[in-house]
Chains A and B, each alone.
Chain A
Amino acid sequence: MPLGAYLTLAAAVFAIGLFGVLTRRNAVGILLGIELMLNAVNINLVAFARFSGDLGGIIFTLFTIAITVAEVAVGLAIVIVIFRVRRTVEADHLDLLRG
């Protein structure tokens, strides 16, 4: 398969993840959309690494995966705290800072 096929697949997954982030009301649902977008980026990185023969992209993917795991852990901790305090996980209801 040519490089373009992998990049197109990644772009489609990225667009679907973006759709999820834009349309979900639930904070956890928004996080799931972000996961999809990060995955699409990982596909791009690995595809470029394989087709250019450079190892850097694969190493970078390892780092992004680890950082994503940390991000999810902290993000969900924040969601749980918000839920404890405000009794809701809907992003639209969290407008405390609205001017």
Chain B
Amino acid sequence: MSIFKEHRTNADRVASDRRRHKEKIDKAIREGIHHIVADESIIGQNGKQKFRIPVRGIKEHKFVYGDNGKQVGSAPGRDVSRGQKIGGKDRGKPQRPDKPGNESGEEYYDVEMDLGELAEYLFADLGLPDLQRKQLTNISAHKLKRNGYRPQGIIPRLDRKKSAIARIKRMKAAGFDPDKAEEGETFPFHEDDLKYRHYKLKDEPCTNAVVFFVMDVSGSMDQNKKFLARSFCFLLYQFLRSKYENIEVVFVTHDVDAKEVNEQDFFTKGTYGGTAASSGLSMVNEIISERFHPSAWNLYAVHLSDGDNYDSDNGKYLEEHAKLESMVQLFGYVELEPEKSYMEENKLSKVLLPRIRENSRCVTIKSKDDVWPAFRELLNASKGEK
């Protein structure tokens, strides 16, 4: 005879351990997220769409055997022969074919979040309250807002309906009846009947932002550099997106000439030409004057380049930069993986550095690990801190 017991109330014994585990996962997400986001597509994620992010789990280490041991399996009723291949080299591992450099035995969790949550994780500990306040409010549009009616005004603002109503009121009060009126008797508009629409200038904080990504696509920009560029652009794009309701992105590529392209081309197309970096900035200046007036838009511009430029173009570049800098919230010059080269002193960063002011920043990215620090450094620039 056995004992049968009713259920004890141990509703959730694991609750505290789960909470503790979640804290660790959160920490891991925050620490590793710049690696995680490196592969996401920049645009086309709308705010509501959830996407799954693989997060490296909190691994519990043990002494285990590596790969060279033999294992035994069973397969009753099936044909198995010596030398038969029974699966790829990733057999039995968590499958993450999309993650390059995945090492054996990694545990992954799929954490589902939308862009808002992702941005929260990404930018939670950036510690840039100044930046947010300043940049959200210092640009404001003066908009004309309707503000009641006035007895005086200019003719174009005359409100005919209001004026007519005022006249009818006065007519009724005077006991004038147009049907019984004698021939030739009228009840004309009096000056007091006229109502003019009144407008007032109001300051509205501007929540529009446009970010210009300018990239050098000359022969020296290889896939690796483009990958770094992509990660960086994604971070910046998501950051601005989390701060502004309405954000537009303009992609500009240049070799010796600049052109506006779509996202796909921006990251994939390349040319074999030389480089005249000024063309990219001048294109941005042009687009700004045509479509994005600085009083209505928060402007951000990032120039991604490997730093090679025609010497003869440097002067023009600085000129265009100065013009652009005066209009934008933030200008970032990102030099990608600058290898040692004989023209080190001619790199754009060397030319630009002595000339930059408060809202510009030069950063260099040598490898994937530099993306996040470079991003932080860039944002710090706009705080006005060195």
Same assembly: no
